[in-house]
Amino acid sequence: MSSIAGNSARKFEPGTECVAKYDFKGNSQADLPFRKGDLIEIKRATQDPNWYDARRVSDGKTGIIPINYVQQRRGLHIHEMPWFFGKISRDEAEKLLKPRTVGLFLVRESTNYPGDYTLCVVSPSSQMKVEHYRITSKDNNKYSVDDETYFSTLSELVKHYKKDADGLCTTLVKSLKKEDNAISSTAFKESFQKEGWSVATEDITFKEKIGTGEFGEVFKGDYQGRAVAIKQLKDDTHAAQSFLREASVMTTLQHQNLVVLIGISFRGQDILILTEHCSKGSLVNYLRSRGRAVIKQEEQLSFARDVCTGMEYLEEKHMIHRDLAARNVLLTDNPGSSCLLAKVSDFGLAKDQQIQQKDAEKFPVKWTAPEAIREKKFSSKSDVWSFGILLWEIFSFGRNPYPRVSLDNVLDKVLSGYRMEKPDACPPHIYQIMLKCWCTEPDKRPSFREMSPKLYRETNL
């Protein structure tokens, strides 16, 4: 091994996913060559801290790599940052922080130090002036105000100073929020690039169209030899915000029962989200096209468990999906199993539970909990209601919920106590889980964590 990586080696845990920052041709047969933009999985450290055993994701080849040639991919938490105002000047920040109240704050991109940020907060001084603190951003993706305490994300930094001033003029009391809660496309773009999620457009090959989503058309494609699904943005500003927000949410979520984000690309005015391609299509189409003659109860139960496990992960992350349905579950091969693997997809409506969403008017009535329809109260428990509907879809082989009930009458019938009947051949304990999911009072519904073990055995909740 040569000293190509230098002396500033960083420690990477096995399984860490990285993206190549530079081309590496390799110096020996033991080395793993790669191109800039390749996805690399760290396997283990070597005796030389500058070099690691690694695997190239596109083809599975392994070898030794210089660690300073790759960058660890980190989740973007920009969707959790309503206080982030992107590129605004010092003067603009001070104007926005009027009327002045102590502890009112925002974060902006630094105008004097590109790549760094500035925390702007109203001080308790007699003039209630705005103090501007430089937030340095290190090569190891750590953020600090004082070069003593470091944080993995800006969100963590803000949470810390909300609890303790710790050298600032005051604790952060209240964040200034944009009226439309919008985040500039430029801020999103730079964040994706900085955290290693931006991919080169020239490495993407479009193939056939496979659908139309909330944002626009969806294509099957290829990225560095890997089959991907490509969501292409409609030319609409509001859609761009939702599109990029969806991708930023996906960078923070990694689970075998959630569709995996591969990367995001900016092509002229177009924005492309690349996710893994689930070759067997949507769960609802699979159920409807095969039916009871092909699909056995073992596979139905497997789908239910997969979805519940993915949703349990979201629940633990305090994330709300808000559009859980069989149409938003994708299927792919599951090596070593006779059943396909189900993955929850479409996080366009997934939100942190503490963030208020203003576009809650758009939701599918037959899958949505009563409190979400009437009061726009979305929670993990409203996702549980939707899961109950999804279970009904699975065991009715993809039938549309509330058959023979008009859309306008669904809510009234549900509130009057009506519940769908047990699908034919559905195990009684599964139907009992559905009924528990459909409790009118959200607090009386089970959690995904409580339901998960019940889907493995015949027992009531």
DSSP state of 409: G
Cα 58 to Cα 263: distance, rounded to the nearest angstrom: 13
CA distance 378 to 320: 7
- The SS3 assignment for 331 reads strand
Which residue among the candidates 323, 346, 383, 424 is catalytic per the annotation?
Answer: 323
Question: Are 162 and 174 contacting, i.e. CB atoms less than 8 angstroms apart?
Answer: no
Amino acid letter, 273: I
Q: Considering only CA atoms, which of 328, 193, 219 is closest in space to residue 275? A: 219
Measure Cα distances from 273 to 65, 79, 246 in Å: 28, 16, 9
User: Is 323 assigned a catalytic role?
Assistant: yes
Nearest to 232 by CA among 275, 196, 190, 197: 275
Instruction: For residue 88, give both structure tokens.
Output: 């605004």
Under a CB-based contact definition with an 8 Å cutoff, are residues 321 and 362 in contact? no
Q: Give Cβ neighbours of residue 382 (< 8 Å, ≥ 6 apart).
A: 320, 322, 368, 369, 371, 372, 442
- Centre a 10 Å sphere on the Cβ of residue 375 and count the other Cβ atoms it contains: 10
Q: Rounded CA gap, 320 and 303, in Å?
A: 20
Rounded distance, CA 196 to CA 92, Å? 30
207 is in an annotated binding site: no
**Per-residue buried b or exposed e for 166-205, using 16+ beta carbons within 10 Å of the residue's own CB:** eebbbbbeebbeeeeeebbbebbebbbeebbbbbeeebbe
Binding residues: 231
Catalytic residues: 323
Binding residues for ATP: 231
